[in-house]
Structure 1
Amino acid sequence: MFDFSGTLFRLEENDSWSEHLVDHTGAPLDVHAQAELMRRMTAPVGRTVEMDEAGIHAWENRDRDPALHRRAYLDVLSKSGVPDPVRATALYDLLIDPNQWVPYPDTGEVLKTLSENGIRTAVLSNIAFDIRPAFADRGWDTWVDEFVLSFEVGAVKPEAAIFEYALAQLDVDADRTLMVGDSDVADGAARDVGCAFALVQPLPTTERPHALLDAVRKFDLL
């Protein structure tokens, strides 16, 4: 089982982002502000800005409900140097566009090899939008047996229910399953239901060429 964000794919800005990455005066955000903004938009756990009670509710339930997801991230953007609601909305739309997500260099190879070796796989993600197009557009969806997305199943990591659902869909026992993810808290909770766990770092895609291959090889899956 693989996490999506920071594990198989990473959200990385490109030229289409530049017109929206500006502050309240219209000046471009500096490289450090941009990096922090991307971190806040992709952090798997924990609140990244101060929030009121309604904001906390939206943040804590963002991956169960697309409407709350939108509200939560527009709040984060407005408090992270992008106060203009038009620009914040444009950035949010990039966040939920599967085509904006960049695969790690070994993602396709790992999924293809596991599939060819008869090992069933699932993409198990806390997310509020459909990520299947990111795989289908590359022809990789044929190598993924199940997509278990929190907003579709009504459970989020680290809750046991989402791991148990994925295991049932794969029809495999936990003690024969490896979870690979970038969060020891969220993804690592798979250990609580009996799975093995491999941690990868959510580095820029150019800086992490073979972590997925290393993870599955360590557990003798390749």
Structure 2
Amino acid sequence: MAETPFDAVLFDFSGTLFRLEEDESWLADVTDHEGRPFDVHRQAELMRRLTQPVGQPVEMDADEHHAWTNRDREPRWHREAYLTVLRKSGVADPEQAQALYEKVTDPDCWTVYPDTVPVVEALAGDGIAVGVVSNIAFDLRPAFARLGIDDLVSVFALSFEVGAVKPEPEIFRYAVDALGVDPQRTLMIGDSEKADGAARSIGCAFELVEPAPTAERHDALWTVLAAAGITPTEPGAGRSS
């Protein structure tokens, strides 16, 4: 491995390492207020609203806005906020909304990007600490466990456990402190300039990836690592003596 300017890499979860993608079976029976099924365009818009990292996807009253802005701090607010989004996006049946919400919060329903596993393995194999920093209200560790890489992630800084959300500096500080690394030797990778890019506030470097569909984004993690000066040995590649 070439000399690297970083001792640790922090990753966002949604839109960076994994992505919540449309599954026809989830929405096959979902109907709007007039009993009509959602067409492909409305399905795509619904998924976008459920996964956008910043901003407010629908109009909300004061109580709904409070739940939305605090959704990643407590599971109860997360549930309330997303059921509101589903209802105001046209999902009229409460049982349908609840079933869809359970898919959103099931780690097994998230699709991994093609380069996630090899990148995590390569970084860990070369002695670069790996952390995950996520605004989330459920335990995402099982998504990593099913791929056999949970033990390669040294810290999971999850907002509902830490008590801070991106872009607040406290969640990034928690991660670097847990890793025992200097923020100035830490790289944050994520899909939101506002949320993930806030790692710069404590001295971290930042690289942006696009939250494109997993079928369209094959090597973005390798690309941004290289741009930052990190060239870990890919799993299976021979090491020079």
TM-score (norm 1): 0.97
- The answer (yes or no) to whether the contact 2:138–2:160 under 8 Å persists in 1 is yes
1:8 alignment partner, one of 17, 27, 42: 17
- The answer (yes or no) to whether the contact 1:20–1:90 under 8 Å persists in 2 is no
**AA of the residue aligned to 2:57:** T
Alignment partners' CA distance in 1, 2:108 and 2:95: 21
**Alpha-carbon deviation of 1:218?**
1.4
Alignment partners' CA distance in 2, 1:99 and 1:16: 15
Residue 94 of structure 1: aligned partner: 103
**Which sits farther off after the overlay, 11-20 or 121-130?**
11-20
Q: Show structure 1 runs of 4+ deviating over 6 A.
A: none
Residue 211 of structure 2: aligned partner: 202
Residue 161 of structure 1: aligned partner: 170
Q: Which consecutive residues of structure 2, in runs of 5 or more, have no partner in the other structure?
A: 1-9, 232-241
**Alpha-carbon deviation of 1:20?**
4.0
- The answer (yes or no) to whether the contact 1:20–1:91 under 8 Å persists in 2 is no
- The answer (yes or no) to whether the contact 2:27–2:38 under 8 Å persists in 1 is no
2:47 alignment partner, one of 23, 30, 38: 38
Q: Please list the CA deviations of residues 58-90 of structure 1 after superposition, one character each: whole Å capped at 9, or x if unmatched.
A: 000000000000000000000112111110000
**Alpha-carbon deviation of 1:16?**
3.0
Residue 114 of structure 1: aligned partner: 123
- The answer (yes or no) to whether the contact 1:21–1:34 under 8 Å persists in 2 is no
Residue 220 of structure 2: aligned partner: 211
Residue 140 of structure 2: aligned partner: 131
Residue 27 of structure 2: aligned partner: 18
Q: Please list the CA deviations of residues 139-167 of structure 1 after superposition, one character each: whole Å capped at 9, or x if unmatched.
A: 01122111110000100000010011101
**Alpha-carbon deviation of 1:14?**
1.8
Q: Please list the CA deviations of residues 7-28 of structure 1 after superposition, one character each: whole Å capped at 9, or x if unmatched.
A: 0000012243033432234432
**Alpha-carbon deviation of 1:32?**
1.1
1:72 aligns with 2:81: yes
TM-score (norm 2): 0.90
Aligned residues: 222
* Aligned residues with identical type, % of pairs: 59
Q: Aligned-residue CA RMSD in angstroms? A: 1.0
Q: Which consecutive residues of structure 1, in runs of 5 or more, have no partner in the other structure?
A: none
